[in-house]
Chain A
Amino acid sequence: MPLTLERPDGVDAAIAALLSAPDAVPIAGGTDLLLDLEAGRVRSEHLVSLAGLPWARVERTGEGWSIGSTAPLRRVERSEGLAADHPGFVEAVRSVGSAALRHRATLGGNLGRASPASDLLPILLALDADVTLVGPAGPRRAKLDELLRGSRDLALGRGELIEGVALPPRAPSAYAWQRVRPANDISQVGVAIARPPGADRWAVALGGVLPRPCRVPAAEEALTAPTPSEEEVRRAARIASTAARFASDRRATAEYRRRLVDVLLRRALARASGGARP
């Protein structure tokens, strides 16, 4: 299959390139897309590289943090001050693949490919992150939870690109995951928690569940205290482990996933809230 790779040097040119062919797809690090292209799960002969776009920045802004979509994850996790402000987000970034892979993989790619097992989607859902987008009709801003329609399905318009993600200034947070092999593997389950400024409860989001990573409002209701009691943590863990839809597949049984949610939520809360670990 012949492939063309275009490398536009500006946002408008990138959007134009995406609109120029019906099968055009954007490529950043390519760590996920290339596998799907090779396996025929994605069919495209026109790749549009985002390497020339000015979106590889990670910076503090007036409203919090702005993480550019084409910044390699390795740069994100090493950004000064980010781990102190968003410990859970950096834990999640560090859990992706391996250090070598994170030199190529990007935040925008992880979002855009919207894998059901993504390690970044749960923490971004828990942080209630805004995604900034640019398309033929100009820029817009949307909540990740609204954009994420399903497995491998992010509601982007034709020719629309992810510019970056906006995070609050800081939020206590944690991300706990489980895999058969710690590095270069897919998480069987990921549990993210965060308490963004002004929130009246802990946000809980799960990865490795069907059909896509999701928040668990019923569990969150049990977690209004900044430092939840043992009993509250147990109740939330119990609710979370029964609330979502779990599948049995080659990576784990539904039963094990359920057990993991319980364990990992307790651990994440213990880490983030400084509370007791039941």
Chain B
Amino acid sequence: MTRPDAAGKLRGAVTFGTDLERPGMLWGALVPSPAAAGRLRAVDLGPARRTPGVVAAIGAEELRQLLPSALGRERPLFPVEEVAYRGQPVAAVAASTRAAARAAARAARVTIEERRPVADVEDRYPEWPGPGAASDPGVIAHVRAGHGNVASAFARATLVHSETYRTSGVCQVALEPHACVAEVSDGVWRVTSSTQTPFGVRDDTAEILGLPAETIVVDGTWVGGGFGGKGAAFLEPYALALARASGRPVELALSYREEFRLGRSTLAAVIRLDTAVIDRTIVGRRVRLLLDTGSSLPGRDFATGYSIGFLVGPYRCGAVEVEGFGVRTNKPPFGPHRAPFAPQCVFALESHLDGLARRLGVDPLEFRLAHVWREGDETFLGQKVGPFGGERALRAAAERARAWRPSVAEGHGLGAALGFWSTGTGAGGEVRLRLDGRALRLEQVEREIGSGSVIAGLTAVAARATGLPARLVRLVASDTATAPVDSGVFGSRTVAALGRAIVQANEKLLATLARRAGGGPVRLEEGADGIDVVGPAGRRPVAELLTPEERDGGGLVAEGRHYGNAPPIDPSRVEDGTFYPYTDFTASVDLAEVEVDPETGSVRVVRAAAFQDVGAVISEPLVRAQVEGGFVMGLGEALTEETLWSPDATLLNPSLLDYRIPTLLDVPPLEITLLEGAPGAGPFGAKGVGEPPILAVPAAVANAVADATGRRVRDLPLTPERVSRALIRP
């Protein structure tokens, strides 16, 4: 399959956010807070204004005149009293060149009465937070839930396995930094942005600027990678405020260092797991999570209330009690990263289960098979488990592991892990189909972010639903003023949610055509001269079935919508916080063979196999590309990627040299097995595949290291130094 965007991207002909230009455009730059915590005393923009080329300089003071609604209590554009993290924008400037804007931003004088920042969750809570901690000012989110008698399960246990895991922060590392262009005229606040969520940016921006959502129009561009990092308003409100202040279009784009320093990334966590076992059966689980949420947690409980389920996992485990705290630190706000915080949870749980199985003298894969969900089981929140490929994926991995085992060399090890996910169709969306005699237009808001889910995935669904060849399907993306509403390209939900909407719109289209053709059922086919309608009454060109208005105008229109369906969770099991039900149940199993250097601690993954529960394949090359990409990204999380923070909350490695994503030399041969047959929430029974392939990679690698060395590394990533420390541990 040739990707429809491949040629343009190879030629450099597509427009990304950083390529945007407008006549008379200025460049913006943000004035960063020089301290991570403290009281903002003064922002002197005089020197910035005197920098040659500067047209506008705005801070909270200027906003009071210009746009007082942008200084709301909840989310003020600029801090008014306290700064929350180093680099937090306290003002912004616009100038005729990018260099002038940056020079002006550097010239601004920011005075802060510094305080000692909180750099780490364990600074705030060296011990597990006591009763009543949920209302501490340092706690951003608190979740607590469970069912069954946990105390009794642990009292009856023949073995209790207790461990603490620590995970590091990870950045999305999209090739393209954040960038947008803002224009304000005639009461319309228009921003063109490299974003995964045009409507999300619109609503977020409206809230931050204190403007009605309908006055803001967001248009997308080609996105040079998102991975969760471009899923909410970020630069857009600053750019709009600068455009308003200067009366000119303003482009705002981050440098790559700023991308690391200011981008919303996933932060560190401490995870405590206790599992109670009677003989070889799990009868109880206690989960405790301290998650660093930086200065704020957009989406509130998502990172705790959703992720914490991955610490229970897709297993029957008797009585369960989970409690999680989102803890405020002086870092940039927490942000999602491909399967937000889930690979870290899977690493902890699957390492824990692996070690427990070994303690019990049971094969780790057999131990998982004995407990893994079957359809009809119940989640710990009382939701019925739907079709789930976990058992099949585990059996396939066990078979592969048996085949590999005889050739696993001395000093090498084999490890496997199971990750679980749910397609995010709870985030709903709508599409519009427009059929004329020649083509089917698929109108929606999302832009391609690189995975192919929009440009190739939605087109493939439309082609399959209508029966038309893909070249007759024209994908049209437009702005939030004209396109149907949608949640965004994230959560493995694009093809699933919008695909279901496409299927529904197609049904409406065919129903209308059937009525007009004198009765159905009808279908669409490519005819000699355009598109034909074929039904009991024979074959007729579509054009003949259109009204004069439709023929002269935009064709026959049908809209489709999908707002997810998830069986409810049992509210009596939730004590505090928000938990989310699953729309479907997706399994992802990885098997890895590693070589461990016993003296330096270096880990090399020498081969791997991924077993992906996909429900149904819509486009095999795209699905395989997601599995490959997810694996490689997971490899980075497993071995090398982490944000390093100093005790004063300064990011120590804001560069691609010291924040190490894998190179091609680090990627082993990967066998990919796609498992169909356990249908999911998407069209034709498909499950989302954007996120699941990353889930189990760090855990599989860690389990392979344990297999090779007999030592368990409980900190992620498994850098050579960490592994070496585990090896010399007495």
Contacts and interface: CB of A to CB of B under 8 A. Distances in A.
Interface of A: 1, 35, 39, 98, 178-186, 188, 250-253, 256, 259-260, 263-264
Residue in B600, B640, B660, B724 whose Cβ sees the most chain A Cβ within 10 Å: B600
B660 A185 contact: yes
A51 to B, nearest CB: 25
B721 A256 contact: yes
Interface string B646-672: 000000110001101011011000000
B133 interface: no
Interface string B249-276: 0000000010000000000000000000
A39 B666 CA distance: 28
| Interface of chain A: mostly helix, strand, loop or mixed | loop
Interface string B106-138: 000000000000000000000000000000000
Contacts, number: 50
Main secondary structure of the interface of B (DSSP, over half): loop
Interface residues of B, number: 23
A182 B635 CA distance: 14
Given A182-B665, A183-B665, A253 B721 contact: yes
B258 to A, nearest CB: 12
Contacts of A184: 657, 663
A178 B644 contact: no
B653 A250 contact: yes
A186 B657 contact: yes
Given A185-B660, A259-B724, A259-B728, 18 more contacts: A39-B257, A98-B663, A98-B665, A178-B602, A181-B640, A181-B663, A182-B665, A183-B665, A184-B657, A186-B657, A188-B721, A250-B652, A250-B653, A250-B658, A252-B721, A253-B721, A256-B725, A264-B600
Contacts of B99: 1
Contact of B666 (A181, A186, A188): A181
Contacts of B69: none
Contacts of B719: 180
A200 to B, nearest CB: 30
A32 to B, nearest CB: 11
A180 B653 CA distance: 13
- A-B residue pairs, 9 tightest by C-beta: A263-B599, A181-B660, A250-B652, A256-B721, A183-B663, A183-B665, A181-B640, A250-B644, A178-B600
A180 B640 contact: yes
A48 B259 CA distance: 31
B318 interface: no
Contacts of B602: 178
A185 B653 CA distance: 13
A173 B639 CA distance: 31
B488 to A, nearest CB: 32
B515 to A, nearest CB: 62
Residue with the greatest number of chain B CB neighbours at <10 A, chosen from A178, A182, A186: A178
Interface string B63-81: 0000000000000000000
B720 interface: yes
12 contacts: A39-B257, A181-B639, A181-B660, A182-B666, A183-B663, A183-B666, A184-B657, A184-B663, A188-B721, A250-B653, A251-B658, A263-B600
Interface in B616-646: 639-640, 644
A264 B602 CA distance: 13
